[in-house]
Structure 1
Amino acid sequence: MTAKEVVEAYSIALSLGDIPSAFSYFSPDAKWHQPGNNKFSGTKTGLEAIGKMLGDMMSATQGSLVIEPTGAMMVNGNFVSCPVHFRAKCGTKSIEMNGNDLYEVVEDKIVQVWLFSEDQSAEDLFWN
């Protein structure tokens, strides 16, 4: 598979709510770089830590967190960039903004993910 095909397959599985299949595209020791200065920020290493963070985000938002692609995936070697739009509600707070997800793929597995948000300060306020 190409790097783009790996990220596409991951994204499709995730959009279907098939977490086991989505995570099958990750290296067991993958690193997820969550930006900002909030309770979810920092580098998560391994599927257990990544899964816990994502599960905690879904729990905090009562399952309202939605991430949708907004344009074509772009490829540079083994890196794939995906423009996204995300939205969520947490109690009386809500967030809606654009971002970019950058994936590094090695030997058909996602080994690193970096997220970028349009307004990191607003995202930090939402998650804190």
Structure 2
Amino acid sequence: MAEHPDSALVRKGFEAWNRGDMETVGSLMTADCTHHAPGESQVSGHFKGRDNIIGMYGQMFELTGGKMRVELDGIYVDGRGHAVAANKFFAERGDRGIEMKGALIFTIVGGKISDIDECVEDIEQSDAFWGKAE
């Protein structure tokens, strides 16, 4: 059975993100894409526009010195432009580490990601790892 196009798009994004290939990640999004990141940390909030989202991802790589990765547990689609990617996130920051389950909920329009809703297992732990917004 062939992979659904929405699943293939999301998988391509995860693979590129893990390589730090933000050019490919950005090419999968609409120009006005929005990423909603939970919590109150310096990488939380509503990031509107592909460039702002890529900037936030860059900040994550900078804060961790590139010591982060995501393992994809599964991608689930509805065939109507939505995909859910269950995953586990690993990162190191200074003397701290984090390993957390989560999910990204994607809205896909015209073969591009137009919205990303991020959910994490423990918002307080995530905030503590990333640090409060300055």
- 4+ runs deviating over 3 angstroms: none
Match of 1:91 among 66, 80, 94: 94
1:102: how far off?
0.9
Question: What is the Cα deviation at residue 48 of structure 1?
Answer: 1.2
Q: Identity over aligned residues, as a percent? A: 28
User: Quick one: which amino acid aligns to residue 65 of structure 1?
Assistant: M
For 2:77, which of 75, 78, 84 is the aligned residue?
Answer: 75
The CA RMSD measured in Å over matched residues stands at 1.4
Amino acid of the residue matched to residue 11 of structure 1?
Answer: F
Any gaps of 5 or more consecutive residues in structure 1?
Answer: none
- How far, CA to CA, are the matches of 1:92 and 1:13 in structure 2? 27
* TM-superposed deviation, 1:127: 0.8
Q: Which of 50, 66, 76 matches 2:53? A: 50
**Equivalenced residues, count:** 127
- Normalising by structure 1, report the TM-score: 0.91
Structure 2 residue 36 is matched with structure 1 residue 41: no
Determine helix, strand or coil for the equivalent of 2:107.
strand
Post-superposition CA distance 1:26-77 (Å, at most 9, x none): 001100001111111111011111111110111001101111102x211122
Q: Mind listing any 5+ residue stretches in structure 2 that lack a counterpart?
A: none
SS of equivalent to 2:40: coil
Q: 1:125 aligns with which of 125, 128, 134?
A: 128
Whether contact under 8 Å (2:72, 2:87) holds in the other structure is: yes
TM-score, L = length of structure 2: 0.88
Q: 1:88 & 1:48 partners in 2: Cα distance?
A: 23
User: How many Å apart are 1:18 and its aligned residue?
Assistant: 2.7
